[in-house]
Amino acid sequence: MAAFDIEHLLAEISPDAPCGENLEYDAAFIALEQAAKPKAEQQFGTTIIPGEEPDWVEVRRLALKLLERTKDLRVYDQLLRASLRLDGVTGFAGGLALLHGVLGRYWEGLHPQLDPDDDNDPTFRVNVVAGLCDPESFLQPLRETPLVSSRNFGRFGLRDIAAEGGEEGRADQAAVNGAFLEAAVDALRETANAIRRAADDVRGIENVITDQVGASNAPDLSALGAVLREASRVMTQRLEARGIREEEEVVPAEEAVADEVDGAAPAAPRPAGGISVPGQISNREDVLKTLDRLCEYYARYEPSSPVPLLLRRAKRLAPMSFLDVLQDLIPDAVTKAQIFSGPAAEE
């Protein structure tokens, strides 16, 4: 569970200014940027003072305080960094859910704001989001964050378990196996579900920005997606070793292709934690998710196709009533239908 209230942070700052003020030059904003900088190693003569990581508790505190006054992508970025270090994949998933929601609701007014004099160039915003694939800020810490914790065997992350860590990075596999066998199933499930939620929100973030700026200008978050898929496979295998199998999730085709290009084996079906997914559509939310994934496919592999225009229109029409759909498709059809049916009877 995230250490902050996502719905509260998604609410408008105020009715008149939903995204609040631009606090880029505010003392609190500057304090956050300073707090998030690591201290470099120093040497005085023969004495070496090791470098220090930022105080992530303080970084999170300052970020949350600022988010009461502004909706700024740079502040969400710092909150994500702190959440990953302090709360692992669960905190990271909460931060991604918040970022996804903010991008979807407040794109027009988010800070840093788009400049009409610069043709609303989104580069600054896109670069902030693209930072999610920065190795030092996110990818390496995500590989190192524990996926399992055991009193007797220790804590192990993806770097300890996966081959990508090399012989030097790999932990004693007997200890890793022991940790996964000793850990509570509920804790493993919580971690697995957090990883899946994070992967879903990464796709959602890409989709939202692609809809706003086009596929050619959208950030490529595939490196982050690859790490999350690797972690998801590990958790699936370890849960299955404990006899836990859940509803299976179908891996999107473009992700399977990306895994093969990266040299990884195609992913086995992943458990979806009870959430319906394409192939098992049971409600309107599943329909909307499927349409999003279809749009993502065309944006990546057939960017010149007009099909996404129709898919996005279908998504917009999905929650409408019959008359609303008719009004949208054939604007004068509702009026003609009302003429045909005659005036409403007076009470």
DSSP assignment of 64-99, as one string?
A: HHHTTTB-BHHHHHHHHHHHHHHHHHHHHHHHHHHH
* Per-residue confidence (pLDDT) for residue 86, from 0 to 100: 97
pLDDT at residue 273 tops 50: no
Least confident of 93-107, 139-153, 239-253, 262-276: 262-276
For 160, 162, 195, 241, the CA distances from 170, given in Å and listed in that order, are: 4, 7, 21, 20
Residue with the bigger pLDDT between 295 and 8: it is 8
Least confident of 5-19, 42-56, 150-164: 42-56
Find which of 75-89, 271-285, 297-311 is predicted with most confidence, using mean pLDDT. 75-89
pLDDT at residue 297 tops 80: no
Instruction: Answer for the pair 176, 147: CB distance below 8 angstroms, yes or no.
Output: no
For 116, 201, 311, 316, the CA distances from 276, given in Å and listed in that order, are: 41, 16, 20, 21
Give the CB-side neighbour count of residue 304, counting CA atoms within 13 A.
Answer: 0
pLDDT at residue 159 tops 70: yes
Q: pLDDT (tens digit, 9 = 90+) per residue, 34-67?
A: 999 998 777 777 777 777 899 999 999 999 999 9
Look at residues 147, 122, 104, 111 and name the one whose alpha carbon lies nearest to residue 29.
111
pLDDT at residue 270 tops 80: no
Question: At 147, which helix (H) or strand (E)?
Answer: strand 146-150
Give the Cα separation of 227 and 258 in Å (integer).
Answer: 12
3 state SS of 172? coil
Give the Cα separation of 347 and 345 in Å (integer).
Answer: 6
Which tokens belong to 216? Answer: 């050619």
> Mean pLDDT over all residues of the chain?
83
| Banded pLDDT at 288 (limits 50, 70, 90) | confident
- Name, in order, each residue with C-beta under 8 angstroms of 17's C-beta and a sequence gap of 6 or more: 109
Which tokens belong to 215? Answer: 């596929």
* Per-residue confidence (pLDDT) for residue 40, from 0 to 100: 74
